[in-house]
Amino acid sequence: MKQALISLSDKTDLANLGNGLQRLGFSIISTGGTASSLEAAGVDVTKVEEITHFPEMLDGRVKTLHPSIHGGILARRDLKHHLEALNEHGIGTFDVVVVNLYPFYDKVTSGAISFEDGIENIDIGGPTLIRAAAKNHKDVLVVVDHKDYPALLKYLEGKQDDQDFRRMLAWKAFQHVASYDSAVSEWLWKQSNKGDTFPPSLTVPLSLKSTLRYGENPHQKAAFYGDKSLSLVNAGGIATAVQHHGKEMSYNNYLDADAAWNCVSEFESPTCVVVKHTNPCGVASRQDILEAYRLAVKADPVSAFGGIVAFNTTIDEDLAREIREFRRPTDGETRMFYEIVVAPGYTEKGLEVLKGKSKTLRILEARRSGKGMLSLRQVNGGWLAQESDDRTPEDITFAKMSERAPEGSELSDAKFAWLCVKHVKSNAIVIAKNNCMLGMGSGQPNRLESLRIAFRKAGEEAKGAALASDAFFPFAWNDAVEEACQSGIAVIAEPGGSIRDQDAVDCCNKYGVSLLFTGVRHFRH
């Protein structure tokens, strides 16, 4: 008789599976709670101990770890001596193995849990059954996901011999165990190595969330994966954002939305950030969020058109209407067009109004991004890992290096510019005043060119403003620092650290400009 072994922690659709297999003539072998649930659903069940002639022991740690079980799973049906060995020991074969694992991931992420409780939730028998069945998938169908039950029953009803189907189930089984083991490994590492950020080896469990239309360019295929690492549970960010409206997200949409959300999440005051090609081209903070939105767009209205708009406040009806109706500052007529709007929440009316802007506008609701994350970046043949750059102006000492100290709001202007420049691609320069970005230069191979771009965008408003640089100025005289001073900048914030730092100090003293060293660099490549 055909035999199926079923042992489940998640018993979703178990009754349908058990009755379906029984209808197809399978004898059901099961364990503990799974057996009880099947019996309650009217399914005839043989308990594992009736097969092994050995009781469950050690508080359930040993149930299926027995030759009568694993021999029946691992025996190859095309090898005569395997079948003879089974007959000699009175072991029957298994044709189907359906197993899922103790909810270790849910347990260790649900809140405070003792080390001992975590250990007890590490499944041993389950992964062993899954791996054995997956290895012998030519003869044994292995299922780890309740969503595959209908396909399994359909396959068995058709009496098919589709090896591709078997291989797909086997792949899914090994992947299931690998993801499970990665969670256990990550948890144990953190329990035993609390001060070490970088383990000797690292497994990142990724789960496909969507296949994208294409990648960075139309000729590149692409997909989006969610990271199931324990460290990212409740971490927030764009990966877990809810899309309320609009076209499906594209590869570039994810990159730009991530940049916008990471930037706006740094600000405590009501803030709007506009991003284009992962660079913030407009940032403004105001108690009146409508005014912040208008100022952020006006910082660079040409770049803002077709960009991503992010807010750190709930979008209500008034703000939604402003986003929908606001005209392009360059002509006063054309409605601003955006790819994405992202915010931490929407009122019911606000969402309704915003949906009316465009059928294609992607409207995302995201939770604030977490701190202390491990940042990974791929290079050919390997990965770079680093701590996330979480430092804000509140974590930094702005040391006065010049004779002139910042006056009035100049220090707060410098701090605002410093927080903005952190999110601009290097070489990065930001000019800001009154909690509003006036101009920025990004991604240039030399700092002087980035500075000139920033001044070109800021125009006359640069006079009396603050300038922030993500890294030190290698030259001062007849270079970036002097040009900034001659253009009317009131205060400059930079990390310092150049062998020519004194030149920068002397130059600022000559022009009566305040110079602040932060001691912290914010490169972004």
Integer Cα distance of 341 and 362 in angstroms? 6
Q: Which strands make up the sheet holding 466-469, listed edge to edge?
A: 399-400, 514-517, 491-494, 466-469, 429-432, 437-441
- Average pLDDT for 350-355: 96
Cβ 38 vs Cβ 30: under 8 Å: yes
Cα separation of 485 and 462, whole Å? 11
Q: What percent of the chain has pLDDT over 70?
A: 99
- The whole-angstrom distance between residue 60's C-alpha and the CA centroid of its chain comes to 36
Q: Return the domain boundaries, the chain.
A: 3-192, 235-367, 399-517
**Which of the pair, 122 or 351, is modelled with greater confidence?**
351
Q: What is the DSSP letter of 225?
A: E
Question: Could you give the CA distance from residue 209 to residue 247 in angstroms, rounded to a whole number?
Answer: 16
Note the pLDDT tens digit of each residue in 277-286. 999 999 999 9
Q: For domain 3-192, give the fold.
A: Rossmann fold (3.40.50)
Q: What's the mean pLDDT in 219-235?
A: 91
pLDDT at 57: 64
Same-fold call for 3-192 versus 399-517: no
Mean pLDDT of 188-215: 88
Of 110-124, 126-140, 360-374, which range is least confident? 110-124
How far apart (Å, rounded) are the C-alpha atoms in residues 418 and 411? 10
The H or E element spanning position 276 is strand 271-276
Q: 420 near 454, Cβ under 8 Å?
A: no
Given the candidates 3.40.50.1970, 3.40.50.11540, 3.40.140.20, 3.90.1860.10, the CATH classification of the domain at 399-517 is: 3.40.140.20
Mean pLDDT within 130-145? 95
Q: Are 167 and 134 in contact, with CB atoms under 8 Å apart?
A: no
Residue positions annotated with a catalytic role? 135, 277
**pLDDT tens-digit series, residues 11-30:** 999 999 999 999 999 999 99
Architecture of domain 235-367: 3-Layer(aba) Sandwich (3.40)
Per-residue b/e over 298-330, b at no fewer than 16 CB within 10 Å?
bbbbebbbebbbbbbbebbbebbbbbbeeebbe
